[in-house]
Amino acid sequence: MRVNINLFWLLAVFFALADVAYIVWSLIDHGSVEWVGAVAIGLSAVLSVFLAFYLRLVRRSQGGELPEDRVDADIDDGDPELGHFSPWSWWPMVLAGALALVFLGMAVGVWIALIGAPLVLIGIVGWNYEYYRRNFVR
Q: Read out DSSP for 42-54?
A: HHHHHHHHHHHHH
| In-domain check, residue 84 | no
Residues 109 and 52 in one domain: no
Of 19, 37, 71, the position where a domain reaches its end is 71
Q: How far is CA 124 from CA 39, 54, 92, 136, in A?
A: 45, 36, 8, 17
Count how many domains the chain has: 2
Q: Which domain holds residue 40?
A: 2-71
- Residue 87 DSSP code: T
Task: Provide mean pLDDT across the span 28-45.
Answer: 95
- Does a structural domain hold residue 52? yes
Closest to 77 (Cα-Cα) out of 87, 69, 89: 69
Using alpha carbons, list the distances in angstroms from residue 110 to 5, 75, 98, 103. Answer: 49, 51, 14, 9
Residue 112 within a domain:
yes
Q: Are residues 50 and 108 in the same domain?
A: no
Any residues with CB less than 8 A from the CB of 112 and at least 6 apart, and which? Answer: 101, 102, 104, 105
Q: Which residue, among 8, 10, 12, 5, has the nearest Cα to 42 in the 3D structure?
A: 12
- CA–CA distance from 71 to each of 20, 79, 94, 110 (Å)? 39, 16, 45, 58
Mean pLDDT along residues 124-134: 84
Could you tell me if 52 and 96 lie in one domain? no
| Pair (60, 23) in one structural domain | yes
DSSP E strand boundaries for the chain: none
58: in domain: yes
Q: Report the pLDDT value the prediction gives residue 44, as an integer from 0 to 100.
A: 98
Do 11 and 62 sit in the same domain of this protein?
yes
Residue 86 within any structural domain of the chain: no
Residues 115, 67 share a domain: no
Q: Do 26 and 66 lie in a common domain? A: yes
32 plus 66 within the same structural domain: yes
- Give the model confidence (pLDDT) of 48-72 as tens digits: 999 999 999 988 888 777 777 788 8
Whether residue 82 is contained in a domain is answered as no
pLDDT tens, position by position, 83-115? 777 778 889 999 999 999 999 999 999 999 999
Question: Which range has the worst mean pLDDT, 7-11, 16-20, 55-59?
Answer: 55-59
63 and 104 in a single domain? The answer is no
Domain check: are 110 and 50 in the same one?
no
